[in-house]
Structure 1
Amino acid sequence: MARRSTPLTKFLQDVVDNSKDLVDDLIERGRDLEADARSSLSRAADDRDEEDEEDDEDLARLQASLAELSSKVDTLAKSQRPAPKAASPAAATPASKPASTPAASATPKQTRTPAGKPSGETGPTASG
């Protein structure tokens, strides 16, 4: 003899069944997400290992190229250097000290007047 369901018990049964389905779906999606994440991380780790090997090879090639270019630059620099010349007496004079000549020391210093004209100025002034 089967019991008849009342509308209230039928409603509660539907709520419980739907809740079970929801929980089952959430658990299944969680498992899928976990599996996908593990798969993606393992692929990324494998790719990184391959990239590290490629980076090491690239670095070795770049170092070899740098060494080759350095030797070429050294060779060019040696061929571009001028031959050493004998030291001349003019080269021995330091460039920071100007040579004093009697004519240069005999020139009087010009000072400016309050009007802004040099004191030693003669003749018509040029206005510009």
Structure 2
Amino acid sequence: MPILVARALYDFAVDGGAVSTINLMPSAALPSGALVLAAFLNVITVPTSGGAATISVETAAAGDLQSAAAISGAPWSSTGWKAATKTFATAPIKLTAARNITMTIGTAALTAGKFEVIVF
């Protein structure tokens, strides 16, 4: 079975930053039955907010790729590549339905930011 890679992108200029869940991929881009082995984040522009915003990234359950974290700390507070909380060392996520990658902005709206999510 080949290992495939999925890429999702968040860009404040395109997606906005309201407290909400934002779809980062075309609908149901990850097929039912897929195993998600790990996720990596590439922070291109550090997210900012007028408050204490948090970001989580998920596909099957809340925060299953990256648990909710304040933008003032890791992994959001500096640019570059980071391992998400879903790593090769944790159990794979088996998708029971076709899914996409979403992010959840919590606590306060974002005012800037851009990052990509790479899933294996």
Normalising by structure 2, report the TM-score. 0.12
Q: Is the strand fraction higher in 1 or 2? A: 2
Q: Is the helix fraction higher in 1 or 2? A: 1
User: Whose Rg is larger?
Assistant: 1
More RCO (CA 8 Å, sep 6+): 2
Normalising by structure 1, report the TM-score. 0.12
